[in-house]
Amino acid sequence: MIARLRRIASTVADSFWIVPAIVIVAAIGLAEGLVAVDRAGLLAGLLLDNRWLYNGGATGARTLLGAVASSTIGVAGTVFSITIASLSLAAGQMGPRLLRNFVRDRGNQVTLGVFLGTFSYALMVLRNVRTSGEGEFIPHLSMSVGIALAFVCVGTLVYFVGHTASRINVDTVIDLVAGDLTAAIKRLTMRDPEPGTSAPQLGEAVFTVPDARRGYLKHLDADGLADWAAKNATTLQLLVRPGDCVFPGAVIALITPAIAGAGNAIRAATALAKERVSDEDLEYAVRQLVEVAVRALSPGINDPNTAMSVLDRMGAALCELAPRHLHSGRWSRDGRVVLVVPAVDYDGLTNAMLDMIRQNAASSTSVLIRFVEVLTAVAGCERDAGRLATLRRHADLALGDGVRNMTTPADLDELRRRHARLVAMIADGPACLARLERPESVSAGGATKG
């Protein structure tokens, strides 16, 4: 149930229509409230004597409100149609999955809400305006606020054009996705290591738990599922983690001993979605960044600078991860491991970050050199021996690609020098830079006597 509630909350948060709907409802409520104040006549004299506020007749009020309503709805439709077209072109270069960032963007949602809210406000006030033949009623306060909202729409339009132009810039998109990755690292990793727990021995009497659903695992209530396993004195091992695909009829978990209702407990603790989008999936933002880099390295685009920008963000993320610890995927109750979930390890995370970029950049000298430079910077932040070995492995792979594909000896020598810096960084830490950067000493035979 908790997983399903999280899925609903995540869906609502990602929905484009929630903020505009709230603004529209607020605008309708504001219109009704101000019209009620106008009907009470509390501010009539003050408004009629103020030259900055509306003091015209009913015909002018209807014309003005009609102009505000028609212009706001027209501008809203035109601007957003053009924006969708430009984003479609941008998606061809950066990847269609990045359109989700436009949908989630609060600036775009508020902009649409302001236009549609002003339109709704104007309609609600317009329906209350009466000429002398109908029993004259002119809501002066409501009209004045309507004029102010029209100027707000003008300012919002200027903001929206600049905001959208910056959002479809590739560097801005990379920064946004990198921010998501940094937030995921802080949310899904720990500052302190977990207490040491050994993997449970399921023994020979292992029973399978199939699942008839299909989709991607979006949310997992691991604590609730661990409580259920502890209560029923069983050990449960899930075969999927958030972000993985669940195939209909495939085995989703192993259990020992078998307990009736295990399938129902797993279904209650998990929520699936049609897309591979999960706030609990550390690799989701990584895949988005990798897609930008791979598309940039394609022959049709051939933009190595974008790929190098993505590598810089990957390096920054790995430096953020250096002092933190990844979850082991084991949940214990009363000193006994009752639930095991596949967990992201450092090797798997770096493979997801770097492998596809390196493979597509095998013939790009500048990207391979930057690849090794980024790994060197990360090695300066990282002191865990296992993680350093992983960084060295990726650097060795990059060097191997360079040896096979680089035809210019000078380029290959430069890559080898970068690789040597990485090896020195892993061996001696940042202190090695002073030795590597020290100018060569003048030989004794070349010295002259004073």
Q: Do the strands 235-238 and 336-340 form a parallel or antiparallel pair, or are they unpaired?
A: parallel
Does residue 14 form part of some domain?
yes
* pLDDT value of residue 352: 94
Contacts of 427 (CB under 8 A, 6+ apart): none
> What is the tally of structural domains in the chain?
2
Does residue 385 form part of some domain?
yes
Task: Give the type of residue at 7.
Answer: R
Task: Give the type of residue at 52.
Answer: W
Domain that residue 318 falls in: 283-326+344-436
Cis, bond preceding 257 (omega within 30 deg of 0): yes
Domain final residue pick, 107, 136, 168: 168
Tens of pLDDT, residue by residue, the chain (450 residues)? 565 666 666 666 667 788 899 999 999 999 999 999 888 876 656 656 666 677 778 888 899 999 999 999 998 888 878 777 777 766 676 666 666 667 777 888 899 899 999 999 999 999 988 877 777 788 888 888 999 999 999 999 999 888 887 777 788 888 888 888 999 899 889 888 877 666 666 655 788 999 999 999 988 999 999 999 999 999 999 999 998 999 999 999 999 888 888 999 999 999 898 888 777 888 888 988 898 899 889 888 888 999 999 999 999 999 999 999 998 889 998 888 899 999 899 999 999 999 999 999 998 999 999 999 999 999 999 889 999 999 999 999 999 999 999 889 999 999 999 999 999 999 887 777 666 655 443 333 344 333
Which residue matches tokens 């989008």?
277
Does residue 446 form part of some domain?
no
Residues 146 and 289 in one domain: no
Rounded Cα gap, residues 163 and 177, in angstroms = 17
Domain final residue pick, 142, 168, 194: 168
Residues 152 and 7 in one domain: yes
pTM, to two decimals:
0.78
Residues 160 and 302 in one domain: no
Does residue 348 form part of some domain?
yes
Other C-beta atoms closer than 10 Å to the C-beta of 351 total: 16
* pLDDT value of residue 321: 94
Does residue 9 form part of some domain?
yes
Name the DSSP class of 274.
Answer: S
Does residue 13 form part of some domain?
yes
Residues 160 and 16 in one domain: yes
Q: How many residues does the chain have?
A: 450
φ, ψ of residue 297 to 5 degrees: the values are: -90, -5
* pLDDT value of residue 49: 65
Domain final residue pick, 168, 203, 229: 168
Distance of alpha carbon 231 from the chain centroid: 37
* pLDDT value of residue 442: 36
Cβ 141 vs Cβ 149: under 8 Å: no
φ, ψ of residue 207 to 5 degrees: the values are: -115, 145
Does residue 272 form part of some domain?
no
Does residue 383 form part of some domain?
yes
Residues 6 and 131 in one domain: yes
Helices in 41-57 by DSSP H: which ranges? Answer: 44-49
Rounded Cα gap, residues 321 and 186, in angstroms = 8
Helices and strands: H and E segment counts in the chain:
17, 10
Contacts of 269 (CB under 8 A, 6+ apart): 2, 3, 220, 221, 222, 224, 225, 228
Cβ 296 vs Cβ 303: under 8 Å: yes
